[in-house]
Amino acid sequence: MIGSDSGECAPDAGGDFVETQIDTLQPIHFDIFTLFPTMFAGPLDESIIRRALDKALISICLHNIRDFTTDRHHICDDTPYGGGGGMIMKPEPIVRAVETVLTRPAGWSLAPDDVYVNLPPWSPETPAVLPAATPVILLTPQGRPLTQTVVAGLVQSRRLALICGRYEGIDERVRQIVTDEISLGDYVISGGELAAMIIVDAVTRQLPGALGYALGAHQDSHSPGLDGLLEGPQYTRPPLFRNQAIPPVLISGHHANVNRWRREQALLETLAKRPELLMRATLSPKDLAFLDAHGWTPVA
């Protein structure tokens, strides 16, 4: 259990953007299927995730795919048909793990004594009926790119299943039980575990109460509070550091000016670093005039 003292589950109690209906959200349960559950110990045991687990805003069960093997050597991979390098994840352990877990209530996981030897019955031939409301997400470079819009969609689910691929890929027939595929971006990492952690983090910070301040993630870059812009520069004490003073407006006490300055900085930040986001951002006539004065020309 992450953050508790028994087993694999966290305690049950314990532009390109979309407005998230955060006020009405219920807790979210994550079932994560991986060959390397210990990879999750650090990232999921700190900071915002830790607090969300403690406040029962989320719960997490880590399921070791290998636990669902019955052969003597607990093999989860094999050589690819047709030759070629690398190893492919076998379909049976993954499908057995996912079908066994998702046909049981959120929070269920295989008891340590039952690993390998006392698995619930499962049919390799007949597909289990999985709950339609639970997305079964494969983390893969072939998936749709993860964006704040994708995160906003995931937050609407009460239970999410994340399958972490490894080796050179998974047997194609696993896709029979997959309802969504998500990629971190156009590059390859060694497995889906880091991608799963990123999804847990991005989804969790959207939940009311997960962040320690009232507006939560609303003012994050890419979030609705910023209309699809990047967040501008921020400052804290000291007022002078290495001969660089903070912008005087921030200590003017004039809230309207501070807000306008922040908006303009967000516009400049986006113009400098990700100008293509401006085409999808929600911009007021004042924003457009400001951008125009700074050399931005919208391209259709």
- Footprint on this chain of ligand ADE (rule: CB under 6 A): 139-141, 165, 183-185, 187-189, 191-192, 195
- For the CB of residue 117, give the shortest distance to ligand ADE in the complex, in Å: 31
Q: Which of 11, 120, 141, 275 is catalytic?
A: 141
For ligand ADE, the closer of residues 91 and 165 by Cβ is 165
What minimum distance in Å lies between the beta carbon of 195 and ligand ADE?
4
Chain-centre distance for alpha carbon 292 = 36
145 is known as an active-site residue: no
**Alpha-carbon separation of residue 34 from 20, 194, 273 (angstroms):** 29, 11, 36
- Is 205 labeled as catalytic in the residue annotation? yes
112 is catalytic: no
How many Å apart are CA 65 and CA 75, to the nearest integer? 10
Closest to ligand ADE by CB, 181 or 231:
181
Q: Which of 77, 168, 181, 269 is catalytic?
A: 168
- DSSP assigned state of 10: P
C-beta separation of 108 from 102 below 8 A: no
Identity of the residue, 185 or 247, whose beta carbon is nearer to ligand ADE in the bound complex: 185
d(CA 220, CA 202): 11
Residue of 96, 166, 205, 262 marked active site: 205
Q: How far is the CB of 274 from ligand ADE (least distance, A)?
A: 20
Q: Are 125 and 170 in contact (CB under 8 A)?
A: no
Annotated active-site residue 168? The verdict is yes
- Residue 60 contacts by C-beta under 8 Å, 6 or more apart in sequence? 2, 9, 10, 29, 30, 32, 40, 44, 53, 200
Query: C-beta of 147: minimal distance to ligand ADE in Å?
Result: 13
Residue carrying structure tokens 């299943």: 161
Helix (H, G, I), strand (E, B) or coil at 7: coil
Residue 41 vs 188, nearer CB to ligand ADE: 188
Residues labelled as active-site residues = 141, 168, 205, 220
